[in-house]
Amino acid sequence: MIGNLPYFAVAALVIFGLFGAIFGRNLVKIAVAVSLVEAATNLFIIALGYRNGGSIPVFTQAGGYADYMVLPTPQALTLTAIVIGMATTALLLSLIMLLYRHYGTLDVREIRRLRG
Amino acid sequence: MRPLSVIVRTVCNAFAWFVAVFGVYVIVHGHLSPGGGFQGGAVVATFMALLLVSHGATKCLGWVRTNFFYAFEHVGLLTFIAAGFLGIGVTFFYNSLALSGGLFGSAVPLGPNGGSLNTSGTIALMNCAVGIEVVGGLSMILLYMMQGVFHVDKPTLRGKEEAGHDR
Amino acid sequence: MTIWREHLPALLLALPLLGAFAAPVAGHFGSRARNVWFVSITALTALVAWGLWQQVSASGIVVYVMGAEHSRLTLPSGMALPVRILLEVDAMSALMAFMGAIAALAGALFSVRSMERFSGLDQFVALYLLLTAGMLGMEITGDLFNFFVFLEIASVASCGLVAFWRDRPEAVEASFKYMLLSTVGALMVLVAVAFFYGRYNTVAMAGVASHLQLGLAEKAALVFLVSALAMKCGTVPMHMWTPDAYAEAPAGVTCLLVAVSQAALYGLFRVCFTLYGASLGSSAVAWALIIMGLLSMFIGVTMAVIQKDVKRLMAYHSVSQVGYMLLGMGVALLVLSDPQKMAAYGAMALQGAVYHLFNYTMYKGLLFLVAGALAYAAGSRNLNDLGGLGRRMPQTAALFVIAAAAIAGLPPFNGFVSKLMIYESSFAVHPLLPVVAMVTSMLTLASFVKVFQTAFLGPEKAALREVQEVPGFMRGGMALLAVVVLVLSLFPTWSVGSFVEPAARALMDRAAYVGAVLGGGL
């Protein structure tokens, strides 16, 4: 049960994040909600790769525990996902700044020049 | 944006250099320890962030030009793709530098040890390339966003005290 | 020469990436150097894609392992599953890559002149080539995680390009919408990848496909993948980004964006046929795809008929055209585990879907370029402001007629052949399916007659007296796509036999895809 705790945290974060992204009114809050989903995804991958009692997957620094390590692949995947997440967050925030400059508001209900 | 108090400025002036050196350390030890090009590059880019926050945008944007970081970014990216083409004799991204005896080319010592910096071939080279790229890219994002804040601030915040800064 | 042939899959990605990274260096030497660099990189990419297609059609699936001791060494030192970055190109991937590279070349030729009056072109070229790299990467990767990475590269680059005219509020708004949706969609893909990794300890498509057994995790992953990819290719009910992004992007970019959305559709093909295939079990996914397809067709075309903005109208048409592909794909998926029905009409449905995908990318790209040419020459995209341009821009008008006849499915053109294949095969499932598709086709014809009549025929507007034909490079970009459309139209048997049929067969042959990687290589 306690071993499943990360997965519950992931589910909760995804639900909060999606809720915020769908029902949020403020653009910055929407960007934060998207980052929350991103964090949840990364936590999910890391939790999948964790092995109870395993050491770090760096051979020369693992000491005497070199035969039992956590999986390195999910960590590599997460690093890539974090880099991509940073890029998307930066782009989202830049677009929000531009939107604020054009519309003078951060409220999604007022930013709807494109419809129909 | 106004500069912060003299205490903050002094501390940031001093620590920005340590942060930069630590970031470079993380970059070049990317193949031996947790970290690597992106993480180290992000740490080095904190240099620019600290200066921007403590000295204010007006002064900082006068000190550096975005073209400088633009060049950084493209040197990093081109080095990265060149590192890929280096191994094209075998396969793309083939680690042709490893065990060649030259740059990053010595053998990895066996058994638990502190790690030897001059190993791992193309991987270390790519770490450096990614590090240079991320330093340029993140610093440029910070600078451009700061310039963007200027554009937004002018009509709306003129004459008002800025929120979030002490004094 | 032989050594280059071996490295074609890697070059297909490395060339656009190199082009993107070196674009500012080229731009340093002036705009002419940058344009030469831009066009030559996209042309070289198209050449590499053509070579790759030839190689695949000559010798079957090509596997490329990045950084290995040999480019086909998928399982080094007796490992059970591949560990390195894999590129796997079968006939479908090769067709998609070739098609995408042509669209990229046409868009590049068009953009060289149509964008020249704007600043920030170094970044434009870099992002355009990055988008090309992301699209090609999605199409030739053999690895689910890399699919996610290239998906994100493509979406970040395309959002940057959609917001290229950042002083237009609409462009920024469209870009934000697209970015938000594609980020959430890509994260859903990542969660699905994580499910696969947790279950099978691999992210290679072939590895997952060989072990896949339908359980709860796989069903959840399927839902995530199908919904995210269907969103990325703009099907109803997740289509709201499509008209905005397509209409607000510069025209050359829109031409490429069409091909990028088809790369997402390719991902959907890959997931449904290669990853799950016959182990899909129930027909729920197939019916979901069919229903999404019908909804997209009908809602897309009805929304298109009422539009005033030329590019927005065409964007809604692309929603409706994607519906045809989904319909054909759903029909094929429905009968995938029944060899008899598969031979009777399933294979034809799949071929129709793949063929329509090819046709659609070509004529839709052409239509968007024509819309861009109208906006370039007449300064407006609003149909109410246009009129009588057929006399001023006869060549553009002729190109428009070719594309419009193809999209409406008029008999000699390629759209007719692929639509006919989809009608015939879906009729075997239920007679109502082709009825919806035919009604859509008629409404498509109606709305393009409207565009042609309003923009090109009729009395000349006073404001449009001074309009001239667009520059040669822009016409060259359009003509490239028009030539492809005409070749596909005039030689339907040849194009189905050599392009479409191998691609459809590759999609159905799951064992070959798996065996090319898990056979150990070499």
Is A64 within 8 Å of B33 when comparing Cβ atoms? no
Question: Per-residue pLDDT for C519 more than 90?
Answer: no
* C220 and C244 housed in the same domain: yes
**C187 to chain A, closest Cα gap in Å:** 7
**A64 to chain C, closest Cα gap in Å:** 25
pLDDT tens digits, residue range A31-78?
999 999 999 999 999 888 888 777 777 766 666 655 678 888 888 899
* C265 and C306 housed in the same domain: no
Question: What average pLDDT score do residues C446-454 get?
Answer: 90
Average pLDDT, chain A: 86
Indicate the number of domains in chain C. Answer: 2
What are the CA-CA distances from residue C182 to residues B65, C125, C144, C154, C156 (Å)?
33, 22, 17, 10, 9
* C181 and C192 housed in the same domain: yes
Q: Is the dihedral of CA A24, A26, A30, A32 positive or negative?
A: negative
| Token code pair at residue C338 | 């029944």
Q: How far is CA B3 from the centre of its chain?
A: 23
- The residue ranking higher by pLDDT, C71 or C91, is C91
B108 CB neighbours in chain A (<8 A) are 60
Question: What average pLDDT score do residues B91-106 get?
Answer: 79
Average pLDDT, chain C: 90
DSSP string, A42-94: HHHHHHHH--TT-B-S-GGGSGGGTTSB--HHHHHHHHHHHHHHHHHHHHHHH
Is C173 within 8 Å of A21 when comparing Cβ atoms? no
Task: Point out which residues pair with C309 in neighbouring strands.
Answer: C382
Is C173 within 8 Å of A81 when comparing Cβ atoms? no
- The residue ranking higher by pLDDT, A67 or C35, is C35
pLDDT level of residue C4 (50, 70, 90 thresholds): confident
Quick one: pLDDT at residue B56? 83
Question: Per-residue pLDDT for C454 more than 80?
Answer: yes
* C237 and C118 housed in the same domain: yes
* C223 and C330 housed in the same domain: no
pLDDT level of residue A11 (50, 70, 90 thresholds): very high
| Token code pair at residue C28 | 């340093």
pLDDT level of residue B162 (50, 70, 90 thresholds): very low
Quick one: pLDDT at residue A48? 87
pLDDT level of residue B166 (50, 70, 90 thresholds): very low
Q: Is residue C16 part of a domain?
A: yes
Q: Is residue C169 part of a domain?
A: yes
* C288 and C227 housed in the same domain: no
pLDDT tens digits, residue range C293-320?
999 999 999 999 888 889 999 999 999 9
**A1 to chain B, closest Cα gap in Å:** 30
Quick one: pLDDT at residue C474? 92
Question: Per-residue pLDDT for B15 more than 70?
Answer: yes
C68 CB neighbours in chain B (<8 A) are 90-91, 94
* C436 and C522 housed in the same domain: no
Distance CA C114, CA C107 (A): 10
Task: Point out which residues pair with C204 in neighbouring strands.
Answer: C143
Question: What average pLDDT score do residues C3-24 get?
Answer: 89
Task: Determine the residue type at C463.
Answer: A
* C257 and C328 housed in the same domain: no
Question: Which residue of chain B has the CA closest to A65?
Answer: B112
The answer regarding whether domain A2-103 maps to CATH 1.10.287.3510 reads yes
Enclosing domain of residue C199: 1-281+515-522
| Token code pair at residue A18 | 């999606």
Question: Per-residue pLDDT for B163 more than 70?
Answer: no
Question: Which residue of chain B has the CA closest to A82?
Answer: B38
pLDDT tens digits, residue range B118-129?
778 888 888 999
HSE of C513, CA atoms in CB hemisphere, 13 A: 33
| Token code pair at residue C347 | 């294979």
Residue whose C-alpha is closest to residue C317's, from C445, C180, C147 = C445
Q: Is residue C506 part of a domain?
A: no
Question: Per-residue pLDDT for C328 more than 70?
Answer: yes
Question: What average pLDDT score do residues B136-165 get?
Answer: 64
Question: What average pLDDT score do residues C245-266 get?
Answer: 93
Question: What average pLDDT score do residues C120-137 get?
Answer: 93
Quick one: pLDDT at residue B161? 39
* C4 and C139 housed in the same domain: yes
Quick one: pLDDT at residue A66? 57
Question: Which residue of chain B has the CA closest to C126?
Answer: B74
Q: Is residue C496 part of a domain?
A: no
* C344 and C209 housed in the same domain: no
By the 8 A CB rule, do C272 and C280 touch? yes
* C378 and C263 housed in the same domain: no
Residues contacting C375, CB < 8 A, separation 6+: C251, C310, C311, C381
Q: Is residue C306 part of a domain?
A: yes
- The residue ranking higher by pLDDT, C458 or C302, is C302
Backbone dihedral angles phi then psi of residue B32, each to the nearest 5 degrees: -110, -30
Quick one: pLDDT at residue B100? 76
**Kind plus residue range of the DSSP H or E element containing C86:** strand C86-89
DSSP string, C126-177: HHHHHHHHHHHHHHHB-BHHHHHHHHHHHHHHHHHHHTSSTTSHHHHHHHHH
Question: What average pLDDT score do residues C486-498 get?
Answer: 91
Question: What average pLDDT score do residues B96-109 get?
Answer: 77
* C434 and C405 housed in the same domain: yes
Question: Per-residue pLDDT for C51 more than 50?
Answer: yes
Choose from A30, A95, A101, A115 for mutation: most chain C CBs within 10 A: A95
pLDDT level of residue B1 (50, 70, 90 thresholds): low
By the 8 A CB rule, do C310 and C317 touch? no
C64 CB neighbours in chain B (<8 A) are 91-92
Quick one: pLDDT at residue B156? 45
Is B112 within 8 Å of A60 when comparing Cβ atoms? yes
Question: Which residue of chain A has the CA closest to B30?
Answer: A58
Question: Per-residue pLDDT for C116 more than 90?
Answer: no
DSSP string, C422-444: HHHHHHHH-THHHHHHHHHHHHH
pLDDT tens digits, residue range C473-491?
999 999 999 999 999 999 9
CB-based burial label for A8 (10 Å; 0-12, 13-18, 19+): exposed
Question: Per-residue pLDDT for B86 more than 60?
Answer: yes
**Kind plus residue range of the DSSP H or E element containing C515:** helix C510-518
Residue whose C-alpha is closest to residue A10's, from A67, A50, A58, A48 = A48
